[in-house]
Amino acid sequence: MHDPRYLRDNLDTVRSALGKRGQDVPWDAVQKLSEERRALTTQAEQLRHELKKGSDEVARRRRAKEPAEEAIAAMKQVGDQIKDIEGRLREAEEALNDLALRIPNLPHQTVPQGTDATQNVEVRRWGSLPSFSFPPKPHWEIGEALGILDFDRAAKIAGARFALMSGTGARLERALIDYMLDLHTSRHGYREVLPPVMVNRQTMTGTGQLPKFEDDLFRLRDEDWFLIPTAEVPVTNLHREEILSEDRLPIRYTAYTPCFRREAGSYGKDTRGLIRLHQFNKVELVVFTTPEQSYAELEQLTGHAETILQNLQLPYRVVMLCTGDMGFSAAKTYDIEVWLPSQNQYREISSCSNFESFQARRANIKYRPGGGKKDAKTDFVYTLNGSGLAVGRTVVAILENYQQPDGSVLIPEALKPYMGGRDKITKE
RNA sequence: GGAGAGGUGGCCGAGUGGCCGAAGGCAACGGUUUGCUAAACCGUCGUAGGGACAAAAUCUCUACCGAGGGUUCAAAUCCCUCCCUCUCCGCCA
């Protein structure tokens, strides 16, 4: 959501800054409704002022035992006018709001121009790629052979794009969740939260999933609740409609949740394995901070996610997304991509973004600068979040990078304490 | 699911049709006093949208007493719908 005043006065700037991203926005309608709303607001306020004065006059006359019929009749008319104007105002506001909520965020200046993922910019690489004396297998073959992944039964009980993990596979997923949360809470300064995974419409609107991307979400049939596609949604909305004092900032949360995505329109993509599922687990990092600190926070938060991969000794690279590949709400995004030997490429395992005030405006999350002094003007916080990490994809990376010629899989050193001390997954 | 109670400013809490954006208290902030602390006293003390001013200070208008409708010249106050919280019963983890 953009500042309506800024939008009104700088429509052309916004429009060109959005470039390709804003192609489907009906700019003329935005401008027209913007002006209409302003005019109607002024009219309505003037009329209400008149009504107030008139009503006070009636009250005064009543007390003075003077006749008030004339004033009452006049005010009755003003009242009718107000009803008319306010009705039109409401319509204009609703229409404008609906359009405004569909305008994506403006990219930060440092974001490269581009139309798709091929124009993302690699920022850095970490780790050395593993070499194999045999053709590395895809994780689903490894997992099924070991008896820790079962896609056939998952399909039976739920359908395509679901997974069943069992035995050491289930333990591995749980170990990773534990490990990530422990690291972020004890070393990186995040507070752990365990939020609802079903949320209401307002919450989904706050972070930008609604109104534009309802088709990507699972929705309950009898209630207006949605399954969260990421913990970003409930956790960012923790402070919706709140004013935080600056000395509380930055506020950092980490949350493990399952995530649910319809994956509409991705038929045929990553149909096998754990890469793209309707339900997956993720540990998320969410930060509320000031505008000044937000970009330093983005670097730091990305680093926190990288630490997990480093500790697990998984090679990865960091890319800065170009304007055409960024999500709707983001101003700047780094993707962390982990190396997958079977695919001979890096694949996304984390996405870290600064949303600037875009979500804060939608969710009305403010802060009061200057150590809580009353006279300081409030302003919107900046929100950030990143995966730290997508758990299923981390399992994928471990299975593939740590696979052995005999089909077993070594357990990364850092994870052993979380795996009951075992150092290897063998056939079960 | 059944029955009942309730939602007012950061918090507590008054307010049943007009002079109420809302008494009083607490907290907070500024000051006076004080050897220091405390206390006392004085003052300030919600959010947002518009207008005036070149801008800030400031002034002014409008909205907001859970949300949305309605009645009325006039609604925190009356009516309707919804949401949320609490208590009891039932059910369940």
pLDDT tens digits, A70-85: 889 999 989 888 888 8
Q: Do residues A126 and A165 both lie within one domain?
A: yes
Q: Work out the pLDDT band at A370, boundaries 50, 70, 90.
A: low
Whose CA is closest to A280, among A145, A140, A395, A400? A395
In whole angstroms, what is the distance from residue A352 CA to residue A16 CA? 25
Residue A369 Cβ < 7 Å to strand B: no
pLDDT attached to residue A376: 65
Looking at the 3D structure of chain A, how many domains does it have? 2
Residue A249 lies in a domain: yes
Active site residue: A102, A252, A261, A362, which one?
A: A261
Residue A65 Cβ < 7 Å to strand B: no
CA/C1' separation A373–B35 (Å):
30
CA/C1' separation A281–B7 (Å):
38
pLDDT attached to residue A8: 80
Q: Is A348 annotated as catalytic? A: yes
Cα dist. A337→A122, A267, A321, A325, A334 in Å? 10, 22, 12, 15, 10
Residue A245 lies in a domain: yes
Q: Are A169 and A65 in contact (CB under 8 A)?
A: no
In whole angstroms, what is the distance from residue A53 CA to residue A65 CA? 18
The CATH number given to whatever domain includes residue A298 is 3.30.930.10
% pLDDT > 90, chain A: 66
Q: Do residues A147 and A172 both lie within one domain?
A: yes
Q: Do residues A179 and A92 both lie within one domain?
A: no
- Sheet of strand A242-245, all strands in order from the earlier edge strand to the far edge: A242-245, A365-368, A379-380
Q: Do residues A227 and A260 both lie within one domain?
A: yes
Q: Do residues A137 and A50 both lie within one domain?
A: no
In whole angstroms, what is the distance from residue A177 CA to residue A390 CA? 9
Residue A5 Cβ < 7 Å to strand B: yes
Question: A410: buried, middle or exposed (CB in 10 Å: 19+, 13-18, 0-12)?
Answer: middle
Active site residue: A276, A317, A347, A408, which one?
A: A276
Residue A371 lies in a domain: yes
Q: Do residues A303 and A347 both lie within one domain?
A: yes
Residue A108 lies in a domain: no
Q: Judge whether residue A372 has pLDDT over 50.
A: no
pLDDT digits (tens, 9 = 90+) for A180-190: 999 999 999 99
Q: Do residues A271 and A388 both lie within one domain?
A: yes
Whose CA is closest to A361, among A25, A26, A101? A101
Q: Is A266 annotated as catalytic? A: no
ipTM: 0.85
Domain that holds residue A16: 4-100
Q: Work out the pLDDT band at A337, boundaries 50, 70, 90.
A: very high
The CATH number given to whatever domain includes residue A48 is 1.10.287.40
Whose CA is closest to A14, among A2, A26, A28? A2
Q: Is A37 annotated as catalytic? A: no
A132-144 mean pLDDT: 97
